[in-house]
């Protein structure tokens, strides 16, 4: 069932102008507001118009699962007047650690109001004017932007011909660096490396450059259907200054509630917590996250539905003669053979919002998030009109 933000808020019984409305708008972070160079007001107006298909921000159009909604509804009616610190600070980390496995305990979990805070903390903890950041090109820009604010060098390593991260190139660039940011699966190219490849990469970097920290961003890993793709959680227990970042904004459908976390050794997590304020989770968010983690069948169903929508959309582009990368995420990176800005403007003129520019491939490739099947069927008809004329 597709669940809009308004429907979600109403389902909790607090009305469209209630306490969550601001979080739903502002909590969408960079993915929502920088897909286009248009002014803020124009973006906001376009994204809230009735009938507009929003496939620009890698959000989960289906929203949270039933267990999460039921649990949050119960909190709203009976427990929201309490601070709920035990739920957020004790119960949630324990449930996260148990769900990830690989020997993690609650001491290996650091929660945050969104994973963006974890990324910023990582850069601020390990990057400086004398300690560069290593990132792929293209990849998620947040760490690069923070490094720029710090006056740090950024070593950008182009993706390979298959639009995967160049692990060999990144390992070489990591020598003497402060932090390597490894987005796996990668945003925006949607590709992923196997668990064994990532483990070998971490081992190589820590051997060649022991003082270099490694952040593996696993925001989209729950969508991976390639069975060789897996978490690097086990590696975080083997080394200091190696950690993963996860979010509930994607597969768990809780973007507006702001929930993310890091996993690593306690000494590593202490450095992150000291580097940047990570916020304090509220009882509603923590309760929804716990319920989501305790409903694994929903995640299986979400992954399979996303695969179904993804396969349909990839095949539609293939029939038009256009190629998408091997997506392991809830978005596609498509060679539209024209500047992304032109494709984006043409799609917006017909009521479809797609992703922002991703240099250095912004002259040929567009990122397209996956909505519901109904939304993608409508969007594909728009794409046909744009690309087949």
CATH code of the domain covering residue 279: 3.40.640.10
More confident residue, 365 or 15: 365
In this predicted structure, the answer to whether residue 60 has a pLDDT above a threshold of 70 is yes
Verify that 83 and 114 share a domain, yes or no: yes
Domain range enclosing 87: 70-293
Q: Per residue in 215-252, pLDDT tens?
A: 999 999 999 999 999 999 999 999 999 999 999 999 99
In this predicted structure, the answer to whether residue 214 has a pLDDT above a threshold of 90 is yes
**Mean pLDDT value across residues 343-348:** 98
The rounded percent of the chain whose pLDDT value lies above 90 is 81
Verify that 333 and 253 share a domain, yes or no: no
| CA atoms 143, 148, 153, 157: torsion sign | positive
Verify that 314 and 224 share a domain, yes or no: no
Identify the pLDDT of residue 33.
Answer: 43
Identify the pLDDT of residue 81.
Answer: 80
**Residues 179/133, Cβ–Cβ less than 8 Å:** yes
In this predicted structure, the answer to whether residue 32 has a pLDDT above a threshold of 60 is no
Verify that 333 and 275 share a domain, yes or no: no
**Residues 292/150, Cβ–Cβ less than 8 Å:** no
Identify the pLDDT of residue 49.
Answer: 59
Verify that 268 and 305 share a domain, yes or no: no
Pairing type for strands 109-112 and 260-263 reads antiparallel
Verify that 319 and 355 share a domain, yes or no: yes
Identify the pLDDT of residue 112.
Answer: 95
Q: Per residue in 279-295, pLDDT tens?
A: 889 999 999 999 999 99
The span from the CA of 56 to the CA of 59, in Å, is 8
Verify that 279 and 234 share a domain, yes or no: yes
Question: For residue 279, what are the CA distances in angstroms to 146, 168, 266?
Answer: 18, 36, 18
**Mean pLDDT value across residues 14-25:** 35
Q: How many helices and strands in the chain, by DSSP H and E? A: 17, 11
Domain boundary among 264, 293, 322: 293
Q: Per residue in 181-191, pLDDT tens?
A: 999 999 999 99
Verify that 131 and 273 share a domain, yes or no: yes
Domain boundary among 259, 293, 327: 293
Tokens of 126: 């390990």
Domain boundary among 293, 327, 357: 293
CATH code of the domain covering residue 23: 3.90.1150.10
**Residues 239/276, Cβ–Cβ less than 8 Å:** no
Verify that 270 and 336 share a domain, yes or no: no
DSSP state of 359: T
**Residues 234/216, Cβ–Cβ less than 8 Å:** no
Identify the pLDDT of residue 389.
Answer: 76
Identify the pLDDT of residue 318.
Answer: 98
Confidence bin at 107 (pLDDT 50/70/90):
very high
**Mean pLDDT value across residues 319-339:** 98
Verify that 194 and 254 share a domain, yes or no: yes
Those residues with Cβ within 8 angstroms of residue 376's Cβ, 6 or more apart along the chain or in another chain: 55, 309, 312, 313, 370
Q: Per residue in 136-189, pLDDT tens?
A: 999 999 999 999 999 999 999 999 999 999 999 999 999 999 999 999 999 999
Verify that 315 and 193 share a domain, yes or no: no
**Mean pLDDT value across residues 80-95:** 87
In this predicted structure, the answer to whether residue 93 has a pLDDT above a threshold of 80 is yes
Verify that 228 and 102 share a domain, yes or no: yes
Confidence bin at 50 (pLDDT 50/70/90):
low
Question: Structurally, how many domains does the chain consist of?
Answer: 2
Identify the pLDDT of residue 28.
Answer: 37
Average pLDDT, the chain: 89
């Amino acid at each position: 069932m597709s669940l809009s933000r308004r429907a979600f808020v109403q389902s909790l019984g607090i009305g469209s102008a209630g306490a969550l409305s601001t979080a739903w708008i502002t909590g969408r972070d960079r993915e929502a507001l920088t897909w286009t160079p248009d002014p803020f007001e124009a973006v906001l107006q376009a994204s809230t118009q009735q009938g507009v298909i929003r496939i620009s921000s890698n959000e989960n159009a289906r929203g949270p699962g039933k267990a999460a909604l039921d649990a949050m509804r119960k909190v709203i009616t009976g427990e929201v007047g309490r601070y709920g610190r035990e739920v957020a600070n004790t119960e949630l980390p324990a449930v996260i650690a148990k769900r990830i496995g690989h020997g993690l305990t609650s001491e290996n979990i650091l929660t945050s109001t969104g994973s963006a805070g974890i990324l910023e903390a990582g850069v601020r903890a390990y990057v400086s004017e004398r300690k560069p950041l290593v990132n792929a090109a293209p990849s998620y820009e947040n760490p690069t932007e923070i490094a720029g604010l710090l006056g740090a060098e950024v070593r950008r390593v182009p993706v390979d011909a298959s639009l995967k991260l160049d692990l060999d190139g990144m390992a070489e660039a990591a020598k003497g660096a402060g932090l390597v940011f490894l987005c796996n699966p990668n945003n925006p190219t949607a590709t992923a490396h196997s668990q064994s490849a990532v483990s070998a990469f971490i081992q190589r970097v820590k051997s060649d450059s022991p003082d270099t920290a490694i952040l593996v961003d696993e925001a989209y890993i729950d969508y991976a259907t390639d069975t060789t793709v897996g978490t690097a959680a086990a590696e975080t227990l083997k080394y200091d200054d190696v950690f993963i970042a996860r979010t509930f904004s994607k597969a768990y459908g809780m973007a507006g509630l702001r929930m993310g976390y890091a996993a690593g050794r306690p000494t590593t997590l202490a450095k992150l917590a000291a580097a940047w304020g990570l916020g304090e989770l509220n009882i509603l968010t923590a309760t929804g996250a716990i319920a989501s983690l305790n409903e694994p069948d929903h995640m299986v169903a979400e992954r399979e539905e996303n695969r179904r929508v993804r396969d349909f959309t990839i095949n539609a582009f293939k029939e038009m003669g256009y190629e998408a990368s091997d997506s392991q995420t809830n978005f596609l990176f498509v060679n539209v053979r024209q500047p992304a800005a032109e494709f984006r403007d043409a799609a917006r003129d017909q009521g479809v919002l797609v992703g922002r520019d991703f240099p250095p491939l912004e002259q040929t490739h567009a990122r397209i998030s996956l909505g519901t099947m109904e939304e993608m069927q409508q969007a594909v008809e728009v794409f046909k009109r744009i690309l087949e004329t």
